[in-house]
Structure 1
Amino acid sequence: MKIAIFTDTFLPDVNGVAKTLGRFTKYLDQSHHSYIVISPKQTKKEISAGQIYRQSSFPFPLYKDCRISLPNTMHLKEIIKKFQPDIIHVATPFSIGLTGLHLAKKYNIPIVGSYHTDFDHYLKYYHLTLLSKALWRYMEWFHQPLLRIFVPSAVTYDQLQKKGFQHLQIWQRGVDMNIFHPYYSTDEVRKKYNIKERYILSYVGRLAPEKNVELLPKIAKQLPPELQENVHWLIIGDGPSKSSLRNDWQQNVTYTGFLPQKEVAKIVSASDLFVFPSETETFGNVVLEALATGTPVVAANEGGVKNIVQEGFTGKLCNSNHLDSFVNAIDSILNDEDWRYQLTQNAVRYAQKQRWEDRFEELISTYQFILEETKSKQKHA
C-alpha cells in the first residue's frame, strides 16, 4: 500500500501527534508499506530527506512552539503524481492538511483523517472563546469529505458525534514497553537530581495554559505540611508557562526541560505518582506511558484521560480544577503503601495490553477496507 501523510507537525516536534506519526512511519518501514510525509520545515537548514517532504514554515505568533506552513502546491502536485498514493491521510486541519484535502479531491484519491487535538477547548485558555462557533464551522467543513475520521477515545467520539460529524472510528494509541517499563533504577534518578525527599511526583508535557499546569504549584502548596516537605516534584517539558511556573514555585521542584524519551521513562518510573491536570486531551499518551512504568496516575476527570485511568484501579480521577480533589487523591495514595503497590501492578498489566503494533494493524486494515469499498462503488457507479 502507498500512503501519503499530510501533517502540520512531525518529528522532531515534541507532541502527541508528531510522536504518533513518527511511530507509524517506523511501523510502515518495518511492514514494507510505502509512504511519504508532507510536513513543516523546522529550521532554515533542514531539508527534505527520503520520504519526508518539508514545507517552508514560520512560528505561529500566539504560540511559538507551533508552526504555520506555506506549502508549495505546485511541487506537491508533482510529488503526488509521481508517488501515486492509494490513500491520503490528513492528520491536522490547517495549511498542510488543507493541501492534502485539495490534492485528494483533485486527483480523486480516497482520503481519511485523524482528529488529535481539542482546539475548541484550547480557545478558553487563550481568552478566544468568541472564535468557537467559527472554528466548529471550519472543522465541520474540513472533515466532511473524509471517508473516515479516526478519533483516539470514546470521549472525543461522543463529542464529535454530537456536533454532527460522520464516519467516526475510534483508533486508540499504544505504548512502547521497550522504553516505558518499571525496571529502571530509582537510585539513578534520585542521585542525578539530588533528591532527598521520600516521594517523587512527576508531570510530563507542554508547559502551556491549555495543559492547566498552573494548578500544579497550587496542588504542591496545598498538600499537608508533612507531605510537602517529603515530596519532590520533577516537571518535564517546556513551553510558554515555564517562566511563570518558575517564578511562582521553586521549593522541592526541579524543571528538567525537554528530555529524550528514555530519560523521561526513567524519571516517571522512579516516581511514586504521575500528576496530570490537563482537561484538553483527546487521548493522553503520557498518561498511558506513566502506567506502563508502573506509576499510578492522578489526573483530571476530563477528555480522553478518563478512558485510560481506571478509578481506584490504576489511579485517581479528580474533579477538574478542584484543588482539594487532587490534594486528597495524592494524600490518600501516598499514605497507603499497600494500595499504591496494587495500583502499580494493575497499571503495568493494563499497559502491556496496549501495543502500538496492534493499533497500526487496525489502521492499515481500515485503509484496506476503505480502498475495497471505494473500488466496489466505482465498479457499480
Structure 2
Amino acid sequence: MEGYIAWVANFRRQKNLELLFRIAVTLPSENFKVAGMPNSSIDKETSFFVDKLKSLSNVEFVGLIPRNEILLFFSKSKFLLNTSRYEGFSNTFLEAMITGTPILTTNHVNPDGIIDQYNLGIIYENEDDLRLKLNGISETNYVKKSTNCIDYIQENHDHLTLGKLLLEFLGLT
C-alpha cells in the first residue's frame, strides 16, 4: 500500500475535478499524481478546480503520460482514483488492473458492477466515505484487491485466453 493515488484523464467537466479537489483536501496525508491535460475548450468549473488543485501541496500535475509509460506510472501507484460523473468501461481501469493497481470509484462509474463484484477496488459515495474506507483497509485486503485485478485481466481481457476461447467456440482446436 505504498505509492501515490493516480488520477488520469483529460480535464473536462465530466471528469469532475471538483470531487478530486475535495478528496485531496480530505486526504492530506495522501499524495496524488494527476496525469492529463485540459481539452482545447476547458469549461469554467474545470479550470477553477485545476487552479485550486495546483494550490495543494499533496497534488502533483505530471502532464500527459505517453502510452509506453502508462503501465510504469500505474505500477508505482497504490490506487487509480476515478471521479467521473459518468463513464463507460475506462481504458485506465484496464491499464491500472494490469499492474495490480486497485480502483477507487463511485457507483456512477462501476461498469457492470465489476469493481465490487470481483473485489477490484473500493466503491465510495463521497470524499468522507472514501476516507473512512481507506482508513479501514488492511494490508491483506489491499493485496487481495491487487491480486484480483491481475486475475480479472488475465481471465477476462487477455488476448491469448480470449483467442483460445474463440477458437474453441468455432471448433478450430
Q: How would you bin the TM-score normalised by the shorter chain?
A: 0.7 to 0.9
Flag the structure with higher helix content.
Answer: 2
Question: Which SS does the other structure have where 1:206 is aligned?
Answer: coil
1:194-233 deviation digits (Å, cap 9, x = unpaired)? xxxx64110111111111222011011112xxxx23x211
1:343 aligns with one of 125, 141, 145: 145
1:288 aligns with one of 84, 87, 94: 94
Q: Which residue of 1 aligns with 2:18?
A: 214
* 8 Å CA contact 1:306, 1:317 repeated in 2: no
- The Cα shift of 1:258 comes to 1.4
> After the TM superposition, which segments of 4 or more aligned residues of structure 1 sit over 6 Å from their partners?
none
Percent identity over the alignment? 24
Equivalent pairs, count: 156
AA of the residue aligned to 1:352? Q
Give the superposed CA RMSD. 2.5
1:136-191 deviation digits (Å, cap 9, x = unpaired)? xxxxxxxxxxxxxxxxxxxxxxxxxxxxxxxxxxxxxxxxxxxxxxxxxxxxxxxx
2:69 aligns with one of 263, 272, 278: 263
Question: Which SS does the other structure have where 2:33 is aligned?
Answer: strand
AA of the residue aligned to 2:147? Q
1:355 aligns with one of 135, 158, 168: 158
Judged with a 3 Å threshold, the aligned counterparts in structure 2 of structure 1 residues 213 and 306 are, in CA distance, closer, same or farther, namely farther
The structure with higher relative contact order (CA 8 Å, sep 6+) is 2
Give unmatched runs, 5+ long, in structure 1. Answer: 1-197, 366-381
Considering only CA atoms, is the larger Rg found in Structure 1 or Structure 2? Answer: 1
Q: Matches of residues 177-196 of structure 1 in structure 2 within 5 Å?
A: none
Give unmatched runs, 5+ long, in structure 2. Answer: none
* 8 Å CA contact 2:34, 2:61 repeated in 1: yes
Judged with a 3 Å threshold, the aligned counterparts in structure 2 of structure 1 residues 323 and 286 are, in CA distance, closer, same or farther, namely same
1:239-291 deviation digits (Å, cap 9, x = unpaired)? 12664334212311111121212222111111111111113112222112211
* 8 Å CA contact 1:205, 1:238 repeated in 2: yes
1:330-373 deviation digits (Å, cap 9, x = unpaired)? 3333xx212111111111111112135748x97xx9xxxxxxxx
Q: Given the alignment of the two structures, is residue 202 of structure 1 paired with residue 1 of structure 2, yes or no?
A: no
* 8 Å CA contact 2:118, 2:148 repeated in 1: no
**Structure 2: distance between partners of 1:352 and 1:312:** 13
